[in-house]
A = this chain, B = another copy of it.
């Protein structure tokens, strides 16, 4: 292990357009990529390098922070700062989805949302119409007038709200006016807006068990008590929720494809849930995160489409049908609650940038949105098929794959003794993403299973290659 002295780093250029911190960052990245600095090598402390280079301490810290944020270096307290020990050469498994890192090295565990194979929650990134998107982006940026620079309406651009209302009517059977649409920056923002407007600290809320873990974290931080309600092949067991907590103030459900089990909430259960909510003046929060993606038949209408009593709040998102870094989602509220939500957004909402809203509006208006969803529905049906076939051909006997009507991930039941959590940890170390069904349980045990996203697996061959890497870990 050799200490890297600044001498190892090519000299900085004070005349360059690139600021110093970025030059330092580039030099270190280059040194790591070329092998001048090796995993585990100690690098000079920020203080030492500040002295050595005669620059401001903040400049060095900015560079180190970037390097640490991207996983290249790690602070080890007294032991100093080192090049990340388990930094691995990039393994181009499924080419389209991997980022174009010039260094040829990607850290494995520091950007949990970077696109590892099987990364949950991501749409297909390789097939997004980026050229069209860039064209619309450029056009909207050029079209910006002074009037577009003032505070945007906190509930969203009127044109975007109108497009969302029109889309939901056609595709999800929801009859709503644009005034019922509130544009948010994502699911967490949507839930926080609902909690602030309709709930109070100490309220109890039914959550599906198993269910999306961030929801209960979010409720915990907002002093809302989560009541785990089991899910069977018909979805949420409404009678069990009523038995446990008849007076709960709300229920969060994923009726289209339960998250993560992918079952659909049956019609009798939908009706029972609506009846309970109407009878108790409770709220139903319908998280329709991927309702568009159903492969065995037409997408089911949303639960919201059956809502005669105005009890359902519908949470949609552009993260799965466009892409997550857009940070655009929306909430449909019952007509009678519009005024309360308007008051709360005026008081608390920050609003979404005009530019991203304008680009999405143009993307919808010009028909690219509907076309993209149709194409993705076909593509995901294929990729689902190919991924399942590839995994089965290699892992038969070790796993069984649930048959599911829709969604963006597969459920692999583990037939052996191995715990799903253990296997997930091993896979992460090998640069493969998976989530353990056990981690999605609020309480009780689940049969061990892996959740694997298939939307970015481009062929059966890719699935087989990845499956062989999983096989070694079983």
- Give A84 Cβ to nearest chain B Cβ, in Å: 15
Q: Which residues of B contact A113 (CB under 8 A)?
A: 150-151, 153
Interface: A1 (CB within 8 A): no
Cβ < 8 Å to B, chain A residues 143-162:
144-153, 158-159, 161-162
Q: Which residues of B contact A179 (CB under 8 A)?
A: 65, 68-69
Say whether A133 contacts B141, CB under 8 Å: yes
Copies of this chain in its oligomeric complex: 2
Say whether B126 contacts A177, CB under 8 Å: no
Which of A149, A220, A367 is most buried by chain B, counting CB atoms within 10 A of its CB?
Answer: A149
Which of A59, A62, A159 is most buried by chain B, counting CB atoms within 10 A of its CB?
Answer: A62
Interface: A438 (CB within 8 A): no
- Give A215 Cβ to nearest chain B Cβ, in Å: 11
Segment at the B interface, from A181-189, A255-263, A382-390 = A181-189
Say whether A145 contacts B58, CB under 8 Å: no
Interface: A103 (CB within 8 A): no
Q: How far is the CA of A211 from the CA of B350 in the complex (A)?
A: 19
Say whether B327 contacts A162, CB under 8 Å: no
Say whether B144 contacts A217, CB under 8 Å: no
Interface: A165 (CB within 8 A): yes
Q: How far is the CA of A117 from the CA of B184 in the complex (A)?
A: 30
Interface: A169 (CB within 8 A): yes
Say whether B165 contacts A61, CB under 8 Å: yes
Residue of B nearest to A184 (CB): B350
Interface: A114 (CB within 8 A): yes
Interface: A142 (CB within 8 A): yes
Query: What 0/1 pattern do residues 262 to 282 of A give for CB contact below 8 A with B?
Result: 000000000000000000000
- Give A428 Cβ to nearest chain B Cβ, in Å: 16
Q: Which residues of B contact A353 (CB under 8 A)?
A: 325-328, 352-353, 356
Interface: A91 (CB within 8 A): no
Which of B100, B114, B142, B145 meets A100, CB within 8 Å? B145
Say whether B17 contacts A366, CB under 8 Å: yes
Say whether B150 contacts A115, CB under 8 Å: yes
Query: Known: A19-B166, A344-B221. Contact between A149 and B66, CB under 8 A?
Result: no
Say whether A221 contacts B61, CB under 8 Å: no
Interface: A49 (CB within 8 A): no
Interface: A225 (CB within 8 A): no
Say whether A58 contacts B175, CB under 8 Å: yes
Interface: A246 (CB within 8 A): no
- Give A65 Cβ to nearest chain B Cβ, in Å: 4
Q: Which residues of B contact A186 (CB under 8 A)?
A: 350-351
Interface: A171 (CB within 8 A): no
Chain A residues proximal to chain B, CB less than 8 Å: 17-19, 21-22, 56-59, 61-63, 65-66, 68-70, 96-101, 111, 113-115, 119, 121-122, 125-126, 128, 130, 133-134, 136-138, 140-142, 144-153, 158-159, 161-162, 165-166, 169, 175-179, 184-189, 192, 196, 201, 214, 217-218, 220-221, 223, 319, 323-329, 344, 347-356, 359, 365-367
Give 13 A-B pairs besides A126-B146, A196-B221 with Cβ atoms closer than 8 angstroms: A22-B159, A22-B365, A56-B169, A66-B178, A98-B147, A136-B141, A137-B140, A141-B359, A185-B185, A186-B350, A188-B350, A217-B347, A329-B350
Can you pick out 17 interface pairs between chain A and chain B where the beta carbons lie within 8 Å of each other? A19-B166, A57-B175, A58-B175, A58-B177, A65-B162, A65-B179, A96-B146, A97-B146, A113-B151, A125-B150, A137-B138, A138-B138, A150-B325, A152-B327, A214-B347, A352-B353, A353-B356
- Report the 8 A-B pairs with minimum CB-CB distance, sorted nearest first: A99-B147, A137-B141, A138-B138, A185-B350, A186-B350, A125-B146, A325-B354, A149-B323
